[in-house]
Amino acid sequence: MLKHKKSILLILVSIFLLAGCDAPTTIQGTQTSLWDQYLIYPFSLLIIFIGNTWFHQSIGFSIMLVTVGVRMLLAPLNIIQYKNQLNTKRIQPQVQKLKEKYTGTDPESQQQYQREMMELLRENGANPIMGCLPLLIQLPVFSIVYYAIRRIDEISSSSFLWLDLGHADPYFILPIIAAFATYLQTRILQSDLEGINKSYGILSQILSPIMVLSFGLFSPSGLVLYWITGSLFMIIQSLLLKKFFKEKLMPEVK
């Protein structure tokens, strides 16, 4: 769950960083910036095209559909991450034994501890690096969505339900939904990692929704809509993974 909380924290902090670097200019198709011309602008055209073609000019529904598409593309990495988390949970007794075995602080003991730990991780398919891959991809996509909403007039000026997608929800309904969805997502993810760090898990169940709520109160509604859709997708995906993969991935530890 530390990785989960770090991912939420990094994404939310990135909102502040993006806001601080946000350019007031509207993005057009002939930008000198490669980031604008080849990433943000084409992505915004995709959102606008889908909204105008399939949803009767509803940019809000288009953002939701594009979010689902992005999450589906990331699904293979999330499956690998899920397997890695289960394998990490499965070897916790062996990890604890190693810690008890090598209590010395001398370099030789620590080197032997590291060698045996790496061997244990390798034999049981627990790779700490794999937990970072979805986040490394998600952060650029998150920033692209942010700039597309902030700097593309046709998106920022669009309405969806009671929302102005380029501005914060005046009734705070969307941030509250985002916080609740984050809470559910955290609970479901923790259900497979229960026992690793219960006190930290409870703390993350409280802090993660609070962070999402705090940032959602001041973020563009379109970005919060993207977050909610992604969280709901992850909830469904986690339940499916738990149902179909968990029993297959919990053999006896080597």
Give the per-residue pLDDT at 224.
Answer: 94
31 DSSP 8-state letter: -
What number of other Cβ atoms are within 10 A of residue 183's Cβ?
A: 19
pLDDT, tens digit (0-9, with 9 covering 90-100), for 40-52? 888 999 999 998 8
* Residue 223 near residue 64, CB atoms below 8 Å: no
Give the per-residue pLDDT at 47.
Answer: 92
Give the per-residue pLDDT at 63.
Answer: 94
DSSP string of 22-78?
---SPP-TT-S-HHIIIIIHHHHHHHHHHHHHHSSS-HHHHHHHHHHHHHHHHHHHH
Give the per-residue pLDDT at 77.
Answer: 84
Give the per-residue pLDDT at 10.
Answer: 55
- Residue whose entry in the numeric block shows the structure tokens 């989960």: 4
Report, as ranges of residue numbers, the positions in the chain whose pLDDT lies below 50.
1-5, 16-17, 19-20, 24, 194-195, 251-254
State both tokens at 142.
């998150």
pTM here is 0.80
By C-alpha distance, which of 169, 176, 182, 148 is closest to 49? 148
Give the per-residue pLDDT at 40.
Answer: 86
Give the per-residue pLDDT at 200.
Answer: 59
Give the per-residue pLDDT at 252.
Answer: 47
Give the per-residue pLDDT at 24.
Answer: 47
d(CA 63, CA 59): 6
Give the per-residue pLDDT at 254.
Answer: 46
